[in-house]
Amino acid sequence: MIQLQSVSKKYGNGVQALDDINLVIQSGEFVYLTGASGSGKSTLMKLLYREEIPTQGQITIDQFNVNRLRRRQVPQLRRHVGVVFQDFRLLPNLTAYENVAYALEVTGDSRKKIRRRVMQVMEQVKLAHKINQYPDELSGGEQQRIAIARAIAHDPKILIADEPTGNLDPESALEIQHILEAIHDRGTTVIMGTHNDQLVDRFPHRTITLHRGQLIRDQAEGGYYEIS
Ligand code: ADP
């Protein structure tokens, strides 16, 4: 379970990116995070993988008290929460295989065990036949699938995707959505920041909307209710 209690974030330049957010996301949910550019979506997601820390309020993610995380617990949180970005962020001089294996090397597992896991996640994103390609030899959609493979390599309980289809054509975006749906079907909590109304309409899930740092709407899959 993810719980935010009265969470606010003000950046050093004085911008109030989030203002008193209260939110509970249960394990296994699929949640869209929507809102205009600058409404605070990325900031909210950054707080969940501790790229940023809140200026006020409490965040708990399963066993982690994110505010009071000890230094050695940060890598544990990052294995618990996988992240995918709009711009993929693959390492350009590593092959697709190496990009994913690299993420697993920190575990100290044997090469054989790492290979098995890399191939498993490559099959999940349907790219087992392109593992030896470099990122610039892959389409945007394929690069994003590699980035997803890397994000799920540690079998995280939560997957955060910050506009994962933002740079993709509609067909590739649809493929990415199908992969995220499959990851969700296996029990992973998925939180997806998006502007892609077509996907939101076609694949209905709980939808949380931010406006100028405030949570203005929390719409359940089967209907919505306004935040009072
Ligand atoms: P969104 O993801 O919805 O586009 P963001 O969370 O990126 O929104 O940004 C929310 C607000 O915080 C914006 O006004 C943005 O300019 C500001 N902001 C984001 N990151 C930083 C930062 N590192 N330093 C200062 N201001 C920031």
| pLDDT tens over the chain, length 228 residues | 999 999 999 999 999 999 999 999 999 999 999 999 999 999 999 999 999 999 999 999 999 999 889 888 999 999 999 999 999 999 999 999 999 999 999 888 899 999 999 999 999 999 999 999 999 999 999 999 999 999 999 999 999 999 999 999 999 999 999 999 999 999 999 999 999 999 999 999 999 999 999 999 999 875 444 454
Q: Residue 208 corresponds to which tokens in the numbers above?
A: 């949380």
pLDDT of residue 35: 95
d(CA 91, CA 80): 22
Task: Pick the atom of ligand 1 nearest to 36's CA.
Answer: 3
* CA 84 to chain CA mean position, Å: 5
Side by side, which strands form the sheet with 56-61? 16-25, 2-10, 56-61, 64-65
Give me the pLDDT at residue 19, please.
Answer: 98
pLDDT for the residue numbered 107: 81
Q: Which residue CA neighbors atom 24 of ligand 1 most closely? A: 11
Q: Which residue has the tokens 């740092």?
A: 213
Q: Are 158 and 61 in contact (CB under 8 A)?
A: yes
How confident is the model at residue 85, as a pLDDT? 97
Domains within the chain, CATH numbers bracketed? 2-89+156-219 (3.40.50.300)
Q: How far is the CA of 158 from the centre of ligand 1 (A)?
A: 23
Q: Is 201 helix (H, G, I), strand (E, B) or coil?
A: helix
CA of 17 to the centre of ligand 1 (A): 6
**pLDDT value for 221:** 77
Edge to edge, the sheet with strand 214-220 lists: 81-85, 158-162, 189-193, 30-34, 206-211, 214-220, 223-226
Predicted local distance difference test score (pLDDT) of residue 115:
97
Distance 55 CA to ligand 1 centre (A): 14
> Tokens for 121?
């996640």
Candidates 170, 220, 180; CA nearest to 83 is 180
